Each structure stands twice: as structure tokens, then as C-alpha cells.
Amino acid sequence: MSDSKITVIGSINMDLVTSTNVIPNQGETVLGTNFLTMPGGKGANQAVASAKLGGNVTMIGSVGSDVFGEELKANLKEQGVSVEHIGQSADAPTGIASIILSNGDNRIIVVPGANQGVTSAMIEEKEEMIASSDVLLLQLEIPLETVEKAAEIAKKHHVKVILNPAPIQPLSEELLEKVDFITPNEHELALLLKRIQSKETKKDLYEKLIVTKGAEGVTYYQNGREHHISSYKVEAVDTTGAGDSFNGAFAVGISRGMTKREACQLGNAVGALSVTKLGAQTGMPTQQEVEKFLEKMK
């Protein structure tokens, strides 16, 4: 079965990655071991994860009129993502993420820059394109009102919506009602549930939940029951982008008509493979690598 169309609306960043053996305390200076610039941003990461699995992916986002912006668009195109709907801001620089890696863990500071230019008005102009999609994948590194508008348009045209609520922030019950799947990690889930007052909304939300738990795997809910899928045991080199890898793969699974469980299993495998290499996008596996990995794990 050929893939249906996946549209990703979200952030496009350049990751500035510093590796160190020691994370500095306040006021302390330490020596790093390496520095790299690597393509990132949750939206772009998830688009690349889907495209590397053979997904039919279009990206909606914004970059600055600078070198990083040109590099990031070229990279997305090279990875198989359609970039014709990516805008270019003359007023803001391309977004960046400053990442500190230490012993397989990471700490991240994001400066949104041109990602703030992904406005509701921009999304309204893309309604026809969104309406022609089968799956819409969203995150929260662009303005929240933009996410709400995109979900509203998708719902209007019966497009399936996957929302990765990261970085977590208060979400309206109206937005939650419009999404088909929501993919928080455990920390994000706790904050998400804490902010929901309506028991009915909370009950409905559980049926949409796909909870990623890192090395412990993923939990999803169906017909009022909790189901757990264990992760694959791998040696982690860099956990940056693992959640994005899962989300991109899950979107591909849904676009291919997989069940919720099958899409989660695909996401688990892709997420596991992604942490075995350095870099968010560079660590994401191809369809062939995933098939080889799953065959090995039988």
C-alpha cells in the first residue's frame, strides 16, 4: 500500500551541539570535547523521520534569510521532504537549539526566531494543501494559536491529526477535542492531565493517548484499557530526537493504515535505532535499516 500524504507543521532549527564530559555548574567554565551544527527543530525532525521511512511528506514552516535557513531547506529537500510551503522571514533569524550532550543525556535551550512567523494567517493560506492531506502532524515549537488553527482546518476536512505536545504548555479542551492522537512523554502527560478540569474531556483524552516512556517503551489506551509495548534494548549514544523519531514513524504507520498498536511498534523500533547514532536527524533510520533491525530482533 502506498503512503498517504503527511503534512508536518512545525519548527525548523539549526542545532548547535556541544559535547562535554562534565556539565558546568552556575558560574563554572569547563572544556568541551566536540562541537557540531546539525539540522533540527521538532517539526523538521519529525518530517525527516517520516520521509526517511519512505513517507510522502510536506513541511510547512519558516526560516530566516540567512545561511542556516538555506542549509536547512536544502537538507529537508535532500531527505525527501517537500519544501515549497516553507516561508522565509526577513525580520527574524532562523531558529536555533543550543544542545549540551554529556554521557548520552542532553540539555536544550531553544530560540524560536523565524518559527514565530508560522502564524494562523499563514496556515489559513495553506487550507487547500492541508485539506488534501491524510495525516497532519503538529508540535508546540510554533505559536499555539497556529496549532489550534491547523487542527481546526484539519478537523473541518476530516484529516487525521497527531499532536506531539512538546514543549508542554496549557492546551484548551477545544484543541484536544480536534486531535485524533496525542503523544506526550510521561512528564508531559502529568502536566497535561493536571490542567484538564472536565472529567469527560479527560476520559476522551485517554483513548487518544500514546505515551512514550524512553527505554521503557510506549503505552497506549484503547476501549478503556491500557496497553504497553516494551522498548528494544540498544546502547544509547545520543537521545536527542528520539521522541521526534517515534512521532514521525507513528505518522507513517497511520498513513499506511496500520492499527494503533502496529504504528506504536514501528515508532518503538525507529526511536530505538535513532539513539544509536549522534544527531537528531542524522540518527534517524531508513525503512531498510528498520526492516533489518526488526528481522534481527525476532
Which residue numbers belong to the known binding site for ATP? Answer: 185, 212-217, 243-244, 268
How, if at all, do strands 95-102 and 135-138 pair? unpaired
Q: Distance between CA atoms of 30 and 296, rounded to whole angstroms?
A: 41
How, if at all, do strands 160-163 and 181-182 pair? parallel
Strand order in the sheet with 82-89: 82-89, 56-64, 5-9, 135-138, 160-163, 181-182
Count other Cβ atoms within 10 Å, centred on residue 239: 18
Query: Is 286 exposed, middle or buried, given 0-12, 13-18 or 19+ CB atoms closer than 10 A?
Result: middle
Report the alpha-carbon angle 79-83-84, nearest 5. Answer: 150
**105 carries an active-site annotation:** no
Catalytic residue among 3, 66, 134, 244: 244
Place of cell 523500533: 269
Binding residue numbers for K(+): 238, 240, 274, 277, 279
Place of cell 517515534: 246
Q: Alpha helices, DSSP H only, in 210-284? A: 242-255, 260-274
Q: The C-alpha cell of 117 is what?
A: 512567523
Active site residues: 244
